[in-house]
Amino acid sequence: MVTIAPDKLRIVPDAKGKPAGVLVDMQTWENIIEALEMADDLPVIRKALSELRAADDNPLKAGFIPWSKAKTRGKKTHAKK
């Protein structure tokens, strides 16, 4: 969760004085982006953990591959481009 201190943001009004946008400092913006990226990753992490538990905590049985093979696959994929 991202907590934003009120002094770290500024509400920008439109011509009629109604809120039209928000201005935040760079550190707050980076924290927001990081939180959104983490939220995006959570379903993938939960699914992987579920698959691991279903495979009696055996990564190979769950279909995971060792890092050494994953690293090699990544190099081959980039070489093809």
- Return the domain boundaries, the chain: 6-80
At residue 19, what are phi and psi to the nearest 5 degrees?
-55, 130
Whole-model pTM: value is 0.55
CA 74/CA 79 separation, integer angstroms: 9
Say if residue 77's pLDDT is above 80. no
| Structure tokens given for 61 | 């049985």
Evaluate if residue 15 carries a pLDDT over 60: yes
pLDDT mean over 54-67: 92
